[in-house]
Amino acid sequence: MKKITILLVSISISMLQASFAQQLRLPDYFSDNMVLQQRDTVRLWGWADGGQHVWIKADWLSDTLKTQASSGARWEVKLPTPPAGGPYTLTVSNGSQQIIIRNILIGETWLCSGQSNMEFSANWSPITKQQEEATGMQFPEIRLFHVYKTTSLCPQQELRGKWEICSPQTVTDFSAVAYFFGRSLHQHLHVPVGLIEACWGGTPVETWMPDSIFAHHPELATSAAKLPAAQWWPVQPALAFNAMIVPWQFFPIAGVIWYQGETNTNNPQTYAEDFSRMIQSWRRLWHKEFPFYFVQIAPYRYGAPYIGALIREAQLQTYFHVPHTGIVVTTDITGDTTDIHPKDKQNVGERLARWALAKTYGFTDIVCSGPLYDSMKTEGNRIRIYFDFADDGLVIRGKQLTDIYIAGEDQHFLSAQAKVEKNTLVVWKREIDHPVAVRFGFSNTAVPNLFNRAGLPASPFRTDNWPVLSH
């Protein structure tokens, strides 16, 4: 009887150990149809029993890679990638189990993040020229990964989602801005493109930032605490960052595109610092100074004066102060300032692609931006404005420039007259003898009409730093 009892206990222990055995497994983003960044090194990782050997064989490598799972059941290997191409197959095995990843492409992979204007898909509401666009959305070499919405109080290793081939069926539930960005890259570069959508409508910038920033900068924590609570999206710092961004840190990317800021009209005073620190934190996470191209929020009738203008100003400051960034101006794409979601996503995505093509991929014939304020010079009773991205000249669409204002030392702004002189703008008002400041498009709903010769709109700006009432 004693022998039988010992035998039963031994069998029970063996069964218990087997139940806790770690299956050979990979994160969701290492899966069929994925796009890996070309000419880079992927930190391929997963789980297996502690001490177990794992072999990795990739079509593009002549040698088989070998590693061993740690006592914590995690294994990792550095996997070099070739120039753009494919499809390839990748096999991971531990002797008793095997995982085969098929239809892998090597190309350019971009992370696409932000709030609802980045998340906005054709299934939400018809986009501009939707019927015309729908028939041409079949791109087998564009792959889409939609990150499931989730939050976490601490940084995560895993996330849920899957890679899909771009088709009329899959892309209509994917970020329209990201799709048009990726399509333009694919058509110009002629290489596979991977697009990772990690978005959540309504979210402030703070939830996409690590907790450590707020621990070291109490003024940002105080500002974040003033954000109104929401039922359907996170506002607490770091929740989306921990769950939707951190898990990608070992997956190489070419860069990031970003469309967000509308929710932060609730606390615009800290947005420039928040946004700049967010970009820096993401680059630290990947250990790479990758390009970060973003969209300036569109005109909209916000409830308080100037809060939209202040966010646009903060975004422009971020472009000037953070290296390897680019800004897309959207003042001309909205047909309705009561709609916070402009339907023209084509121009937004293609303008983001202009930045990538010109600055990341070296297309010297592509103009990547509309005019951006550079400096001013007082000339008697007039002020001359100088711009970047206006070398070929400025264009006023219409009889006269709109949304342009000038002020003297009394800080009282009046609607001004303006004229283009080559690539500069001369501004004046007969009633002001000694002007000191100019504002252009500096309101929530301004839709100004100044462009460069490439047809791209000038960003709103102001030359002063006087206090602005936003309540």
Domain shared by 75 and 145, yes or no: no
| In the predicted structure, residue 136 carries a pLDDT above the cut 90 | no
| Residue 7 belongs to some domain of the structure | no
* Cβ atoms 266, 228 nearer than 8 A: yes
Q: What is the mean pLDDT of residues 206-227?
A: 98
Give pLDDT, residue 12.
Answer: 39
| In the predicted structure, residue 246 carries a pLDDT above the cut 80 | yes
Domain shared by 211 and 355, yes or no: yes
Number of folded domains that form the chain: 3
Token pair, residue 316, equals: 């422009």
| Residue 9 belongs to some domain of the structure | no
| Residue 1 belongs to some domain of the structure | no
Give pLDDT, residue 131.
Answer: 64
- The Cα–Cα gap between 207 and 263 comes to 11
- What is the domain range of residue 62? 19-105
Which range, of 75-89, 116-130, 175-189, 325-339, averages the lowest pLDDT? 116-130
Q: What is the mean pLDDT of residues 267-276?
A: 98
Give pLDDT, residue 155.
Answer: 98
Domain boundary among 333, 360, 387: 360
| Residue 151 belongs to some domain of the structure | yes
Domain shared by 197 and 335, yes or no: yes
Tell me: the pLDDT tens digits for 224-235? 999 999 999 999
Domain shared by 144 and 30, yes or no: no
Give pLDDT, residue 122.
Answer: 81
Domain shared by 157 and 298, yes or no: yes
> Residue 38's closest CA among 60, 56, 18, 65?
60
| Residue 366 belongs to some domain of the structure | no
What separation in angstroms does the CA of 368 have from each of 45, 352, 375?
A: 37, 8, 20
Q: What is the CATH number of the domain that holds 64?
A: 2.60.40.10
Q: What is the mean pLDDT of residues 348-366?
A: 99
Give pLDDT, residue 14.
Answer: 37
Domain shared by 205 and 291, yes or no: yes
Domain shared by 352 and 392, yes or no: no
* Cβ atoms 36, 84 nearer than 8 A: no
Token pair, residue 403, equals: 């949304």
Mean pLDDT of the chain: 94
Domain shared by 317 and 213, yes or no: yes
Domain boundary among 43, 72, 105: 105
Instruction: Provide the percentage of residues in the chain whose pLDDT is more than 70.
Output: 93
DSSP string spanning 263-294?
GGGGSGGGHHHHHHHHHHHHHHHHTS---EEE
Tell me: the pLDDT tens digits for 287-340? 999 999 999 999 999 999 999 999 999 999 999 999 999 999 999 998 899 999
Domain shared by 295 and 381, yes or no: no
Domain shared by 379 and 331, yes or no: no
Domain shared by 389 and 332, yes or no: no
| Residue 162 belongs to some domain of the structure | yes
Q: What is the mean pLDDT of residues 115-126?
A: 87
Give pLDDT, residue 357.
Answer: 99
| In the predicted structure, residue 21 carries a pLDDT above the cut 70 | no
pTM of the model: 0.94
pLDDT-based confidence at 250, cuts 50/70/90?
very high
The residue ranking higher by pLDDT, 9 or 248, is 248
Domain boundary among 105, 137, 163: 105
Tell me: the pLDDT tens digits for 163-195? 999 999 999 999 999 999 999 999 999 999 999
Give pLDDT, residue 124.
Answer: 76
The residue ranking higher by pLDDT, 128 or 223, is 223
| In the predicted structure, residue 130 carries a pLDDT above the cut 90 | no
Give pLDDT, residue 471.
Answer: 59
Give pLDDT, residue 15.
Answer: 36
Give pLDDT, residue 125.
Answer: 66
Pairing of strands 450-452, 394-396: antiparallel
| Residue 352 belongs to some domain of the structure | yes
Angle between helices 271-286 and 218-225 (to 10 degrees): 110
| In the predicted structure, residue 156 carries a pLDDT above the cut 70 | yes
Give pLDDT, residue 335.
Answer: 80
Q: Torsion over CA of 55, 56, 57 and 60, rounded to 10 degrees?
A: -150
Give pLDDT, residue 1.
Answer: 44
Q: What is the CATH number of the domain that holds 333?
A: 3.40.50.1110
Domain shared by 353 and 410, yes or no: no
Q: What is the mean pLDDT of residues 406-432?
A: 98
- The Cα–Cα gap between 143 and 45 comes to 21
| Residue 468 belongs to some domain of the structure | no
